[in-house]
Chain A
Amino acid sequence: KAGVTQTPRYLIKTRGQQVTLSCSPISGHRSVSWYQQTPGQGLQFLFEYFSETQRNKGNFPGRFSGRQFSNSRSEMNVSTLELGDSALYLCASSLSVGGEQETQYFGPGTRLLVL
């Protein structure tokens, strides 16, 4: 089985721009979660999607949004970029069958640099 894929792998944007990141989960996985990783804050949970619905949300401003498509692929959007948004954005997928927390499998991440 192919693993979790994320595109693009690297991105450079300027302040005020917006960005869309994409994540393709492992085939058959229905849950997709997004995380932000920065040296100062570590790993922080952004949100989780399951069956095209946002099931959980972390403490990030409304500039951060996401969606999930019927094929379980997910996109994350950040509007009005700030310097502090520079980070590694990780996507993880899991089966999430029967409401039980399943092991999450992570993609390689998208490294975003905001100038």
Chain B
Amino acid sequence: AQSVTQLDSHVSVSEGTPVLLRCNYSSSYSPSLFWYVQHPNKGLQLLLKYTSAATLVKGINGFEAEFKKSETSFHLTKPSAHMSDAAEYFCVADSNYQLIWGAGTKLIIKP
């Protein structure tokens, strides 16, 4: 069965330092992969999407993610965290018209 594992339920970084949110997927093929962000009391917003083109995908707000097939990973990074990045982030894989969601990672930004 397909699954998505977000390795950290919470990540806390200081403003201005790098962000790393980890995601591993299990799939018998190379799926499409997404990162969504949900700010408090707001809906989900697409950050970026991987669909077997370039393995390094650039998204909005300075985020990017690298697809590594050998490691079945799709980690999300940002060089310098901003207070407005505080939110919950979801890693998602597609599987036959159905999206498989990770449990989410809460990103906390310390001033």
A interface with B by C-beta (< 8 Å): 4, 33, 35, 42-45, 48, 55-56, 58, 90, 92, 96, 99, 101, 103-109
Contact = CB atoms under 8 A, between A and B. Distances in A.
B49 A103 contact: yes
A5 B90 CA distance: 21
Interface stretch (B16-24, B65-73, B93-101): B93-101
Contact of A108 (B32, B43, B90, B103): B43
Range class of the B interface residue count = 10 to 19
Find the residue from A33, A96, A101 having the highest chain B CB count within 10 A: A101
Contact of A45 (B32, B90, B99): B99
B25 interface: no
Given A48-B98, A56-B97, A101-B97, 19 more contacts: A35-B101, A42-B103, A42-B104, A43-B90, A43-B101, A45-B98, A45-B99, A45-B101, A56-B96, A56-B98, A58-B98, A90-B44, A92-B44, A96-B97, A101-B99, A103-B46, A103-B49, A106-B36, A106-B43
Contacts of B94: 101
A43 B104 contact: yes
A45 to B, nearest CB: 6
